[in-house]
Amino acid sequence: MFFKGENVFYRPLSQDDLAALYRWACDPKITKYSSSWFVIPKPLECHKAWLASLNERDTSIDVAICCNETQKIIGYAGITSINHINRCGEFYILIGEQDYWGRSIATEATKIITEYGFKSLGLHRVELTSFVDNPAAIAAYTKAGYKHEGIKRQSSFRDGKFLDKVIMSALSSEWVH
């Protein structure tokens, strides 16, 4: 286990998580606001290879989010695109089990993983993007301490149209958790 929160704990992702990750990846409701990687369905073998490659990268930290009570994986999160020279990275999260949506787990995960990035990885800046029509995510990130920087106009293509994304960031020099 990496970290323990109020309702969830965080541990390394493993091949044991493959079935849950694949189920979430195949559900458009769950991946609606996720990265472009999910737009085109991929076979199970692609997900297996991605999962196997995680521990080989020094440019990301990726963790499973697990329920304290049931020990089951309910999502995953991390910081990717870590640049050790510029001391920055990009936060991401996916809560795959819909029963856990709206329970402040994303806010908690955002705080804990961002703090890990600052204190343990020595990052100065962690940024993220969110679709502007995902107010729950934007509220969670704001509550976690991220600041709104601007809008990336028409930066993603979904369902036949271009969509705007908000860009937010947190700086180690402003982090007060």
Provide the residue ranges of all domains of the chain, joining segments of one domain with +.
3-174
Give tens-digit pLDDT for 42-101: 888 888 888 888 777 889 999 999 999 999 999 999 999 999 999 999 999 999 999 999
Task: Supply the DSSP string of 32-80, one letter for each residue.
Answer: TTS-GGGTS---HHHHHHHHHHGGG-SS-EEEEEEETTT--EEEEEEEE
Pair 31, 38: CB distance under 8 Å: yes
What CATH number does the domain located at 3-174 have? 3.40.630.30
Pair 114, 123: CB distance under 8 Å: no
Give tens-digit pLDDT for 22-40: 999 888 888 877 876 666 7
